[in-house]
């Protein structure tokens, strides 16, 4: 099952992402996909706001990754890894970014252009598919949880292996 939301402005996209962020926990991997200009970075900004990241949140298009410091609900330090894989030419380049720390660490990974991960795409992930709407600032956001391990808790009625069915 896929949860879908339509937003009509960048602010609505950010606010929806803040609500979505309340479902995230340490070690979650959010795979953001969608065409150029569909709002992936705005969505990341909303997640970072929820986790009280200080400073500017921007797309790491040329540096490939930013690491932000935020706080979880218990006010404990939480690292948020923001990757932008638009410019990578091979999934192997992700290994040079510290794949182990990002995907198996104790933070949350937010990956723009996650489809470029190829065979490195983690089986346990939340996919956020973003698309342009019919109006100028309208965006459609579809969220699906994928899990290899059935003990991974769903965000919505989505749970295991491939896309989780209710």
Q: Of the ranges 48-62, 97-111, 116-130, which one carries the lowest mean pLDDT score?
A: 97-111
Q: Has residue 110 got a pLDDT over 70?
A: yes
Which of the residue ranges 25-29, 107-111, 147-151 would you say has the lowest mean pLDDT? 147-151
Q: Tell me which residue range forms the domain holding 8.
A: 3-146
In a domain, 20, yes or no: yes
Q: What distance in Å separates the CA atoms of residue 40 and residue 59, rounded to the nearest whole number?
A: 9
Segment 17-28 shows an average pLDDT of 95
Tell me if 97 is assigned to some domain. Answer: yes
- What's the 3-state SS for the chain? CCEEEEECCHHHHHHHHHHHHCCCCCCCEEEEEECCCCCHHHHHHHHHHHCCCCCCCCCCCCCCEEEEEEECCCCCEEEEEEEECCCCCCCHHHHCCCHHHHHHCCCEEEEECHHHHHHHCCCCEEEEEEEECCCCCCEEEEEEEECCCCCCCCCCCCCCCCECCC
**pLDDT of res. 148:** 73
Query: Does any domain span residue 28?
Result: yes
**Higher model confidence: residue 90 or residue 144?**
144
Q: What is the pTM of this model?
A: 0.84
For residues 17-27, average pLDDT = 95
The larger pLDDT score, comparing residue 6 to residue 65, is at 6
Considering its fold, how many domains does the chain have in total? Answer: 1
Contact (Cβ atoms closer than 8 angstroms) between residue 157 and residue 2: no
> Is 53 part of any domain?
yes
Instruction: Place 149 in a pLDDT band, splitting at 50, 70 and 90.
Output: low
Average pLDDT over all residues of the chain:
84
Residue 56: CATH number of its domain: 3.40.50.300
Question: Residues 6, 162: contact at Cβ < 8 Å?
Answer: no
76 within domain boundaries: yes
166 belongs to a structural domain: no
13: in domain = yes
Asked if residue 45 belongs to a domain, the reply is: yes
Distance between CA 5 and CA 16 in Å, rounded?
Answer: 8
């Amino acid at each position: 099952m896929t949860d879908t939301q339509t937003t009509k402005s960048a602010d609505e996209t950010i606010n929806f992402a803040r609500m979505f962020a309340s479902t995230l926990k340490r070690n979650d991997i959010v795979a953001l996909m969608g065409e150029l200009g569909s709002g992936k970075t705005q969505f990341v900004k909303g997640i970072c706001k929820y986790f009280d990241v200080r400073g500017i949140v921007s797309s790491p298009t040329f540096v490939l990754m930013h690491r932000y410091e935020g706080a979880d609900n218990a006010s404990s330090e939480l690292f948020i890894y923001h990757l932008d894989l638009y410019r990578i030419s091979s999934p192997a380049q992700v290994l040079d970014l510290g794949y182990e720390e990002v995907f198996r660490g104790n933070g949350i990974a937010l990956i723009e252009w996650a489809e470029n991960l190829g065979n490195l795409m983690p089986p346990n992930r939340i996919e956020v598919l973003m698309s342009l709407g019919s109006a100028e600032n309208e965006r459609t956001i579809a969220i699906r949880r994928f899990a290899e391990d059935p003990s991974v808790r769903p965000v919505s009625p989505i749970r295991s292996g491939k896309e989780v069915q209710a």
